[in-house]
Structure 1
Amino acid sequence: MSILLVEDDASIALVITAALEAEGFSVSRCETIAQRDDLLAGGGFEALVTDVKLPDGDGIETLDRVTARWPALPIVILSAQNTLDTAVRATETGAFEYFPKPFDIDELARTMRQAVGANGSAGAGADEPLGDGLPLVGRSSAMQSVFRMITRVLRNDLTVLILGESGTGKELVAEAIHQLGHRRTGPFIAVNTAAIPAELIESELFGHEKGAFTGAVARHAGKFELAAGGTLFLDEIGDMPMQAQTRLLRALQLGTIRRVGGHEEVALDVRIIAATNKDLGPQIAAGQFREDLFYRLNVVPINMPPLRERTDDIEALAKHFLQLAAMEGLPRRRLTAEASDLLSRQSWRGNVRELKNFIYRLALMAREEVIDVDTVSPLLRQDFAPSPSVSESPIDIEGAVTRWLADERPDAGSVYGAALAAFERPLFSEILRETGGNQLRAAQELGINRNTLRKRLSDLRLDPEEFVRRP
């Protein structure tokens, strides 16, 4: 089983080669697109693994000539440009799989076994190229999982259920699926089912006939009909009244709708994407949400991570929102590294939406083009109440101590550094004990970044596993 690896980073290539050879593959490596084409022309390869950014060009843009000549060759794409745009471009080439760097080497090896076994049965390429300006930002592993799920549903009409807290970007995911999928030339109709009065929701969704009820002076097309050929996004589906749930289930089962007061069956040509910020399990148990409807909607679940689980994305999100603010007429601003770090340590209970609103306000209120900590701190104190404890048992930590721990520390070898370490060890031990060794919650309690916590735990020789509560 021979694989061609196109990777100009010698260290990454060495690791990949060792892992694949351990699985029984024969790996040939090259560093450029030109070398790739020459080696492929010689034949004998059963799969191709390629980086995107190569010394002589873009590895994705040049794959068309590979797929044209060897359409059955499985292709796996690696990229350090971990954006939704890159994930979609990779999928649109017909690639077997896409891996954002850093990736799990064992997962890559498993994928290569599947790729060679599948004999390159990847999908067809796109009808037209896709541009930049995609609505989602994030390079964290949590967002990479979201990107990869999005790419899997672009060329089919499977029903998608997007789950996540308010403000995490559920509608943006729905828009991305529509804009990048094969229905992108059709309409995208979004309906907030929680905002429609219960007595009107059936008429809004399914339409009504003239005379169906008082005030129905003409036939009215519902959202299902308006979304024909495109996508219908049902937001806050967990708040839909039970009667409307029943009619929605019927529509999904039969592929038709009937207008209120009508008898004609209208065939559906629409993709359904639903979203909710509620845990539907307890609602099903309480009889507030139909279990059979849940299974109809939950064909492909996509879980949107809260911002506290993707703090590594905050700096990129802040830069993105500053750019958007400038495009919308606000002054052009940029953040210092220290200001970005301070934002990353903030608890954004409203998730990405709250961060966006704050960044826009920051762009408006800042007096200088460069926004530093002295500008950010007063607005944070002014606009945000202290974050509530996420632990079951509240921990009483003075705000001054929290801010002190978040500050840059002196050299650990100094007398002051040693004293600080002596203070921190019992404090960190108590936090870990209260949180059961949960580093995310411990970092939130301390008001510091999780990476900062990990470094301090390492310096203090504290192992979080020792504090994990075990049955």
Structure 2
Amino acid sequence: MATVLVVDDDAAVRTVVAAALKRDGHRVVLAQSLAELHDRLNAETPDVLVTDVVLPDGNGLEALGAVLAGRPELPVIVLSAQNTLATAVRATEVGAFDYLPKPFDLNVLSQTVRAALAKRRSGTEEFASSEAAAGPLIGRSPAMQDVYRIIARVVSNDLTVLISGESGTGKELVAKAIHDLGPRRRAPLIALNMAAIPRDLIEAELFGHERGAFTGAQARVAGKFEQASGGTLFLDEIGDMPMDAQTRLLRVLQTGEFTTVGGSRTIRVDVRIVAATNKELPQLVQSGQFREDLFYRLNVVPIALPALRERREDVPLLARHFLDQAVQDGLPRKHLEQDAVAILERHDWPGNVRELENIMRRVAALARDDRIDGQAIRDALGLVRLPVAAGTDAGIDTAIRAWLDRLAVENPDALDDGTLYDRVIGEVERPLIEAMLVRHGGNQLRAARALGINRNTLRKRMDTLHIGLGGDSPPDAN
């Protein structure tokens, strides 16, 4: 039987955590403040400490330094509703064994307590600390909490990291966080996008070249490996790397040595590798387009970034962050109305966080009012609006062509991703239903008749599209 000290000012949290841990056979001691924490530590010798961050009389993370100074062998599991990367990293800095964002799964807590007990028995160290306390990533969704926890585990070591995710999800931000929060932060972070470099120049970009190595090489140029010496080399779009360069990269990862293009002198560098891809590397391995041994060398610590549509709860937080950034860039401050937030949350964001950033900068620059409403967001997204303005010769076909033209500029990949039909239908359906509801004073039965569908179908589509009931008449008035 192990003794677990649980500190949380929420009585409900204390109750359910205590019940779960007792079912696992542990003895549980409870406290609801820092003062009680210190009293319990004076009276007890717990095997594991589980503590909240925000307590009535102080910050749990700030108190951990003193706690662990007196009991360095005590594994600490930090719970927090402040679900940011900074919190996760700060928890590891002060020596916490692990960090669980609220709300958490009780099964995960049970597993974490078991792992903490195993660590205590073995005497091994789980984390090393760093001096940094913040990161550039934003989001409090469960998917992002998983990302934060992995980052917090790898910042203090030199393990190779492979970041996967769709374009625009923030892979470079993750690489920057790993570098900036780790011991290499005072050395360079050098990035190279494989998809942006001509294939016959990738090796020269990576390893450098000597004078006369090829036509136009008029002087010796250091490659990205040399430039990143002592720091981090971020290899973006690694799936686009040609096979010859893959072979050379594998050798560097195995030996830490390389020669420049056209050179004979062996160069040794100390570089941490972080790679990223928006492609399925295992599929490329199966098709013979990517070396299997290189994949395993890169995939030591995998980090899968979720698409923005998979963490819609983060959209308002991100949107307001980008508006704040726009103010720092000299644009006027703008505020989001609730109907604007609703539209942002419903959008599928095929361009992910990058697309959202572009949209918010656009409305910050172009919106006339200091408050951004739903129509401003519709305009920025290029959504089709019906009916077409009176006094023009334009029809639906013209509106759709204009929408496609705008999409081709803003997000050209969306024209070929296999979702275009559903996107266009979705953009037309909502304003059509809204227009009919307005035309018929909110009477759903009459709107449904005008649309040629039954009322139940209309209600289902309204629920799916999050269209309010508005001035719908009661059933007996229809």
Q: TM over 0.5: same fold?
A: yes
Q: By how many angstroms is 1:31 displaced?
A: 1.2
C-alpha distance in 1 between matches for 2:117 and 2:334: 49
Contact 2:235 2:276 in 1 (8 A): yes
List alignment gaps of at least 5 residues for structure 1. 432-441, 453-471
Q: By how many angstroms is 1:287 displaced?
A: 2.0
C-alpha distance in 2 between matches for 1:223 and 1:163: 22
RMSD: 3.1
Q: By how many angstroms is 1:248 displaced?
A: 0.6
Residue 33 of structure 1 pairs with residue 34 of structure 2: yes
List alignment gaps of at least 5 residues for structure 2. 384-401, 408-413, 469-478
Contact 1:7 1:30 in 2 (8 A): yes
Q: By how many angstroms is 1:84 displaced?
A: 0.7
Residue 402 of structure 1 pairs with residue 427 of structure 2: no
Task: Give 1:99's aligned residue.
Answer: 100
Contact 2:137 2:174 in 1 (8 A): yes
C-alpha distance in 2 between matches for 1:10 and 1:82: 20
Q: Tell me the alpha carbon deviations over residues 423-470 of structure 1, each in whole angstroms, 9 at most, x when there is no partner.
A: 5755798x9xxxxxxxxxx99xx5559xx9xxxxxxxxxxxxxxxxxx
C-alpha distance in 1 between matches for 2:419 and 2:241: 32
1:157 alignment partner AA? D
C-alpha distance in 2 between matches for 1:303 and 1:68: 36
Contact 2:195 2:240 in 1 (8 A): yes
C-alpha distance in 1 between matches for 2:430 and 2:454: 13
- The 1:88/1:220 distance shift into structure 2, 3 A limit, reads same
Q: By how many angstroms is 1:362 displaced?
A: 0.5
Q: How does 1:52-451 map to 2 (within 5 A)?
A: 52-119=53-120, 121-123=124-126, 126-128=129-131, 130-132=132-134, 134-381=135-382, 385=404, 401-403=429-431, 423=454, 446-447=464-465
SS in 2 for 1:144: helix
SS in 1 for 2:88: helix
Q: By how many angstroms is 1:384 displaced?
A: 6.0
C-alpha distance in 2 between matches for 1:268 and 1:398: 53
Q: By how many angstroms is 1:199 displaced?
A: 2.0
- The 1:36/1:205 distance shift into structure 2, 3 A limit, reads same
SS in 1 for 2:199: coil
Q: Tell me the alpha carbon deviations over residues 389-442 of structure 1, each in whole angstroms, 9 at most, x when there is no partner.
A: 9679969957564357799x9xxxx9959x98x95755798x9xxxxxxxxxx9
Q: By how many angstroms is 1:214 displaced?
A: 3.3
C-alpha distance in 1 between matches for 2:180 and 2:434: 41
Which of 391-400 and 146-155 deviates more?
Answer: 391-400
1:330 alignment partner AA? L
C-alpha distance in 2 between matches for 1:323 and 1:395: 30
2:47 alignment partner AA? E
Q: By how many angstroms is 1:82 displaced?
A: 0.7
Task: Give 1:469's aligned residue.
Answer: none
- The 1:392/1:54 distance shift into structure 2, 3 A limit, reads same
SS in 2 for 1:62: helix
Q: By how many angstroms is 1:303 displaced?
A: 0.7
Q: Tell me the alpha carbon deviations over residues 13-61 of structure 1, each in whole angstroms, 9 at most, x when there is no partner.
A: 1111111111111111111112212211223211100001111111112
Q: TM-score, normalised by structure 2?
A: 0.82
Contact 2:128 2:156 in 1 (8 A): no
- What count of residue pairs does the alignment treat as equivalent? 430
C-alpha distance in 1 between matches for 2:349 and 2:34: 44
C-alpha distance in 2 between matches for 1:34 and 1:390: 59
C-alpha distance in 2 between matches for 1:37 and 1:9: 18
- The 1:299/1:276 distance shift into structure 2, 3 A limit, reads same
Contact 1:319 1:335 in 2 (8 A): yes
- The 1:214/1:401 distance shift into structure 2, 3 A limit, reads closer
- The 1:50/1:416 distance shift into structure 2, 3 A limit, reads same
Contact 1:161 1:274 in 2 (8 A): yes
C-alpha distance in 1 between matches for 2:98 and 2:425: 47
C-alpha distance in 2 between matches for 1:47 and 1:149: 22
Name the larger-Rg structure: 2
Q: Identity rate of aligned residues, in percent?
A: 51
Contact 2:3 2:29 in 1 (8 A): yes
